[in-house]
Structure 1
Amino acid sequence: MRPISSNALTRALFRRRVFEEDNGPGVEEFKKVLEENFKLATGLNIEDFIPWVKALDVRGFVAKLKRLHRWYDDTLTKIIENHKTKAKIAIEGEAEGKDLLSVLLKLKETDVEKDEETDNKLTDTDIKALLSDFFNGGTGTTSTTVEWALVELIRHPDILAAVQKELDSIVGRSRLVSELDLHNAPVLQAIIKETFRLHPPLPLLIPHTASEACKVAGYHIPKATTLLVNVWTICRDPEVWSRPLEFDPSRFLPGGKNADVDLKGTHFELIPFGAGRRICIGLRLGLRMTTLLLASLVHGFDWALPDGLTPETLNMDVEFGLTLERSVPLVARPIPRLAHEAYEV
């Protein structure tokens, strides 16, 4: 899943595939950096709990992070310089078009033209930081969410059949699903919401810091306190959700008890992207990628498990960390269910 989500994300950001089928230049390096980035993000850093040994960098976390930072900085600098020399970027077999980086560079030029004296303008450093946030935050979370959704649909064949029927009525079986097909697909949207509820990709969200001392529910929170929001517990609270441990997308369908609940931070019982001013900057992009990828997988294929494995015996253990990933990755065989010409490129 991760190669697919990484390719989709980087094509939207700067029109480049990270994982190429022909193992193109830089692919192996991208893979290693991505894997190391997630290991460091989910690893235990002893200096966080014993501040007086921070300067010693006992486990080499700081050195590794600095090396990753230099790699990201050098790589994104090359990509930005390449964009600056080309008004439009074309990929073989695709029409020329704009990516996010092109839009940001154009915005930077506009800011300079409007006011050359102000310090409050977009810089290359700002652009690189924004692209890094999108890349680091959007690859693992998207792939993890889609994998959990697919696992739950395999375990609930009646729900899988319902969403396939819905997509067939919208798209048919002569072509693949597109983003324009997904504006009115309530079953699919309900499945996405239920997956985020039962398997939030970031169980504790991203750590925040209290900007000033305050009181919350009678508890004194000192200034600069690190705050963690346990959305995993919130989404499984029986006082908030009926049958919280069951995968039941119908709760979000029209007429359901939670039909009006959305994922955009306005309903605190379901905030996988956070809420308020610090809500995830990639919310819209992440939702679109997750929805389109899951729709493509369930509309284009039926799914068969390896011999000896049944939906009831699928391992559902989780590996807790920064992201909520499966302990045992899903292994399933896709079976084409559309007309042959739908898969022709």
Structure 2
Amino acid sequence: MAEEILKTHDLSFCSRPLLLAFRKISYDGFDIALAPYGEYWREMRKTCMLHLLSAVREVSRMIQKISQHISLSETINLTKTLTFFTRTTICRVAFGKRYEPGSGESKEFNQIIREFQMAVDKLVGKIDHLENICKKWDLFYQQLVDEHLLPDRPKSMDGDVVDIMLQLREETSMSSDLPLDHIKAALMDVYFASTDTIATTMIWAMTALIKNPSAMKKAQAELRASFGKKQMVEEEDLAVAHMPYLNAVIKEAMRLYSTAWAISKDPEQWKNPNEFLPERFLEGGKCLSMDLKGQDYRFIPFGAGRRICPGMTMAMATVETVPGNLLYLFDWELPAGVRKEDVDNDILPSMTLHEKNPLYLLAKEFI
């Protein structure tokens, strides 16, 4: 059935229904996720695919922060750490800004994120509340646009997603008009579709590993045997290295904690579908060639067909590089008195699978 919809009859199904609540958060369906399939959608998707590339620049900052926690013998809220990392990375790529933790601007930004997520999680009813939240986001997006139009804007805004879209808006070569509302709609996708899915994938991967110590040790052994004593594993290192077990861990986390596709836990397709078993993606010491690009319809974490996720390249670079560094540089354990059985898999009601309870861990520096 998935192949029939996403391949054989892809053109018939590639446009999506625009329900009332989704219409409000997408500026009448002009974001990338909900815009009707056609010329406008192709232009916006191309822009994001070209400019929302891998930007794992915050990894070293995150590593330094974890080292500080270790020096103070502090328990690390890994959920908070990975969520902040992802938000900061996306903000730098999309908005050309970094919201420093503890600043008034950062607190305000995080508050409207929480309000937005709570509103979207309750799409049925509460439309007035959702409209108020959307007005706050509209003001936020407008402020970003205004800042990018200033002659003395920060250099960090050069070439970010907002900048590129504003340039497209001025070009006569663009085949369709690009009102500011359409730019704002695309920014909503860039931020929320990226931060939630990337952060939750990494958090669930680390949750699964702490509950399966033998799998964690295998991933660490693979990384440490490959890279010796580096201060940090770069994205380029992982691109050329042979990391079948790490790759299998990431794929299994995506399969087990898929946000939308129930087929990833279909017992007719997967043996013991509710168990975390990276080995299911391994064969003869190699990771099976499920390429995540929608060719194997048992496993389509980024969707398939014409509407496959445009941020897949950045997402995969991030969810490999960040856990790769966490496992390579640090040994992880549960706080005193906490057993692996105490780490639950409870999920908050949400469009993405947020953990109900944060993941708290202790870390020790390996190198």
Tell me, in whole angstroms, the C-alpha distance in 1 between the residues paired with 2:290 and 2:189: 27
Contact 2:205 2:253 in 1 (8 A): yes
Partner of 2:252: 194
Partner of 1:100: 161
Alignment of 1:230-269 (within 5 A): 231-232=261-262, 234-255=263-284, 259-269=288-298
> Are residue 145 (structure 1) and residue 208 (structure 2) matched?
no
Q: How many residues align?
A: 284
Tell which structure's C-alpha radius of gyration is larger.
Answer: 1
Q: Which letter does structure 2 place at the counterpart of 1:72?
A: W
Contact 1:251 1:257 in 2 (8 A): no
Change in Cα spacing, 1:317 to 1:75, as seen in structure 2 (3 Å) is closer
CA RMSD for the aligned pairs?
Answer: 2.5
Tell me, what secondary structure is at the counterpart of 1:291? helix
Instruction: Tell me how far 1:9 sits from its aligned partner.
Output: 1.2
Instruction: Tell me how far 1:196 sits from its aligned partner.
Output: 0.6
Point out the more displaced range, 317-326 or 142-151.
317-326
Instruction: Tell me how far 1:135 sits from its aligned partner.
Output: 1.0
Q: Which letter does structure 2 place at the counterpart of 1:303?
A: W
> Are residue 42 (structure 1) and residue 104 (structure 2) matched?
no
Tell me, in whole angstroms, the C-alpha distance in 1 between the residues paired with 2:247 and 2:152: 37
Question: What TM-score does the superposition give when structure 2 sets the normalisation length?
Answer: 0.70
Change in Cα spacing, 1:167 to 1:257, as seen in structure 2 (3 Å) is closer
Q: Which letter does structure 2 place at the counterpart of 1:102?
A: D
> Are residue 63 (structure 1) and residue 128 (structure 2) matched?
yes
Tell me, what secondary structure is at the counterpart of 1:318? coil
Instruction: Tell me how far 1:99 sits from its aligned partner.
Output: 2.3
Partner of 1:221: none
Runs of 5+ in structure 2 lacking a partner?
A: 1-81
Name the structure where helix makes up a greater proportion of residues: 2
Change in Cα spacing, 1:256 to 1:275, as seen in structure 2 (3 Å) is farther
Instruction: Tell me how far 1:130 sits from its aligned partner.
Output: 0.9
Instruction: Tell me how far 1:194 sits from its aligned partner.
Output: 0.3
Task: Kindly provide the CA deviation profile for residues 140-183 of structure 1, in whole angstroms up to 9, marking residues without a partner as x.
Answer: 22221111100111122222122222322443323112211221
Question: What TM-score does the superposition give when structure 1 sets the normalisation length?
Answer: 0.74
Tell me, in whole angstroms, the C-alpha distance in 2 between the residues paired with 1:239 and 1:152: 23
> Are residue 171 (structure 1) and residue 252 (structure 2) matched?
no
Task: Kindly provide the CA deviation profile for residues 92-120 of structure 1, in whole angstroms up to 9, marking residues without a partner as x.
Answer: xxxx96322333333333x32x37xx6x1
Tell me, in whole angstroms, the C-alpha distance in 2 between the residues paired with 1:4 and 1:301: 17
Alignment of 1:193-342 (within 5 A): 193-200=251-258, 202=259, 205=260, 231-232=261-262, 234-255=263-284, 259-338=288-367
Tell me, what secondary structure is at the counterpart of 2:142? helix
Tell me, what secondary structure is at the counterpart of 2:360? coil
Tell me, what secondary structure is at the counterpart of 1:139? helix
Q: Which letter does structure 2 place at the counterpart of 1:310?
A: R
Partner of 1:162: 218
Contact 2:119 2:133 in 1 (8 A): no
Task: Kindly provide the CA deviation profile for residues 196-241 of structure 1, in whole angstroms up to 9, marking residues without a partner as x.
Answer: 11111x2xx3xxxxxxxxxxxxxxxxxxxxxxxxx23x11222211
1:6 pairs with 63, 71, 87, which one? 87
Q: Which letter does structure 2 place at the counterpart of 1:31?
A: N
Alignment of 1:175-186 (within 5 A): 175-183=231-239, 184=241, 185-186=243-244
Tell me, in whole angstroms, the C-alpha distance in 1 between the residues paired with 2:244 and 2:309: 24
Q: Which letter does structure 1 place at the counterpart of 2:194?
A: G
Contact 2:201 2:253 in 1 (8 A): yes
Partner of 1:28: 107
Tell me, in whole angstroms, the C-alpha distance in 2 between the residues paired with 1:251 and 1:86: 54
Change in Cα spacing, 1:248 to 1:68, as seen in structure 2 (3 Å) is same
Change in Cα spacing, 1:158 to 1:65, as seen in structure 2 (3 Å) is same
Q: Which letter does structure 2 place at the counterpart of 1:195?
A: A
Identity among equivalent positions (%) equals 31
Instruction: Tell me how far 1:254 sits from its aligned partner.
Output: 4.7
Tell me, what secondary structure is at the counterpart of 2:302? coil
Contact 2:232 2:329 in 1 (8 A): yes
Tell me, what secondary structure is at the counterpart of 2:309? coil
Instruction: Tell me how far 1:318 sits from its aligned partner.
Output: 2.9
Instruction: Tell me how far 1:81 sits from its aligned partner.
Output: 2.5
Tell me, what secondary structure is at the counterpart of 1:335? strand
Alignment of 1:121-132 (within 5 A): 121-132=177-188
Q: Which letter does structure 1 place at the counterpart of 2:105?
A: G
